[in-house]
């Protein structure tokens, strides 16, 4: 069908939608890599924090383990940067993404039963 108005030509085409209710599912490999990335991020960050915690040296006043860094009282004008904050953040990001994947998995499994 073609309409002409004021020297403007517009073409209209009929489009038939098929299987419009079918959800487009992500491939299994995409989900697998997401879960593997979450596990690696969680395990790596947690192992680094545990290593730092168990490497505490009570005899060394210059010890920079996690326990000493968090219990250090800054002097006046001293700037403290918590270098372990990024690893703690990675753990929380991994936990949040794992929860999202778990909820998504439960909803997909529930919808497939219907």
Sign (positive or negative) of CA dihedral 81, 82, 83, 85: negative
**4-59 residue pLDDT tens:** 455 555 555 555 555 555 555 556 666 777 788 888 888 888 888 788 778 877 78
Please give the pLDDT value at position 10: 53
Using DSSP, how many helices (H) and how many strands (E) does the chain show? 3, 2
First to last CA, the chain: 42
Higher pLDDT among residues 27 and 111, named by residue? 111
**76-110 residue pLDDT tens:** 766 666 666 777 888 888 888 888 888 888 888 88
How do the domains of the chain map onto residue ranges? 28-113
Please give the pLDDT value at position 11: 55
């Amino acid at each position: 069908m073609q309409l002409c108005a004021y020297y403007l030509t517009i073409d209209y085409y009929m489009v038939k939608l098929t299987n419009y209710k079918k959800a487009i599912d992500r491939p299994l490999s995409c989900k697998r890599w997401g879960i593997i990335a979450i596990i690696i991020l969680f395990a790596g960050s947690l192992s680094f924090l545990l290593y730092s915690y168990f490497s505490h040296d009570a005899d060394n006043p210059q010890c920079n383990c996690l326990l000493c860094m968090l219990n250090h009282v800054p002097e006046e004008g001293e700037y403290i940067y918590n270098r372990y904050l990024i690893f703690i953040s990675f753990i929380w990001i991994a936990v949040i993404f794992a929860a999202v994947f778990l909820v998504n998995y439960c909803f997909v499994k529930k919808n497939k039963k219907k």
